[in-house]
Amino acid sequence: MANVVVVGAQWGDEGKGKIVDWLSERADVIARFQGGHNAGHTLVIDGKVYKLSLLPSGIVRGGKLSVIGNGVVLDPWALGEEIEKLSAQGVDISPDNLMIAENTSLILPIHGELDRAREQVNSIAKIGTTGRGIGPAYEDKVGRRAIRVADLADEPTLELRISRLLTHHNALRAGLGLEEIDAEALKAKLLAIAPSVLPYAAPVWKVLNEKRKAGKRILFEGAQGSLLDVDFGTYPFVTSSTTTAGMAASGTGMGPGAVDFVLGIVKAYTTRVGEGPFACELDDAVGEHLAKVGHEKGTVTGRSRRCGWFDAVLVRQTCAINGVNGIAFTKLDVLDGLEELKICVGYELDGERLDYLPTAADQQARVTPVYETMKGWSESTVGARSWNDLPAEAIKYVRRVEELIDCPVAMLSTSPEREDTILVTDPFSD
Rounded distance, CA 422 to CA 331, Å? 12
Rounded distance, CA 92 to CA 97, Å? 8
**Burial of residue 238, with CB atoms counted within 10 A of its CB: 0-12 exposed, 13-18 middle, 19 or more buried:** buried
Which spans in 143-274 are helix H? 155-176, 183-197, 204-213, 247-250
Q: How would you label 248-282 residue by residue, b for 16+ Cβ within 10 Å and e otherwise?
A: bbbbbbbeeebbbbbbbbbbbbbbbbbebbbbbbb
User: Is 333 tagged catalytic?
Assistant: no
User: Is 182 tagged catalytic?
Assistant: no
DSSP 8-state secondary structure symbol assigned to residue 276: S
CB of 275 within 8 A of CB of 268?
no
236 preceded by cis ω (within 30°)?
yes
Q: Dump the DSSP string for 85-124.
A: HHHHTT---STTTEEEETTPEEP-HHHHHHHHHHHHH--S
Rounded distance, CA 226 to CA 314, Å? 10
Rounded distance, CA 208 to CA 258, Å? 10
* Residue 48 φ/ψ, nearest 5 degrees: -100, 130
C-beta neighbour count of 124 within 10 angstroms:
5
User: Could you give the count of Cα atoms lying within 13 Å of 192 in the half-sphere of its Cβ?
Assistant: 7
Query: Catalytic: which of 37, 41, 111, 169?
Result: 41
CA-wise closest residue to 322 among 205, 426, 231: 231
Rounded distance, CA 362 to CA 146, Å? 34
Rounded distance, CA 198 to CA 106, Å? 12
Which SS3 state, helix, strand or coil, does residue 158 take?
A: helix
Amino acid found at 115:
D
Q: How would you label 307-343 residue by residue, b for 16+ Cβ within 10 Å and e otherwise?
A: bbbbbbbbbbbbbebbebbbbbbbbbbbbbebeebbb
C-beta neighbour count of 234 within 10 angstroms:
21
Q: Which residues pair with 340 in a beta bridge?
A: 375
Q: Which residues are catalytic?
A: 13, 41
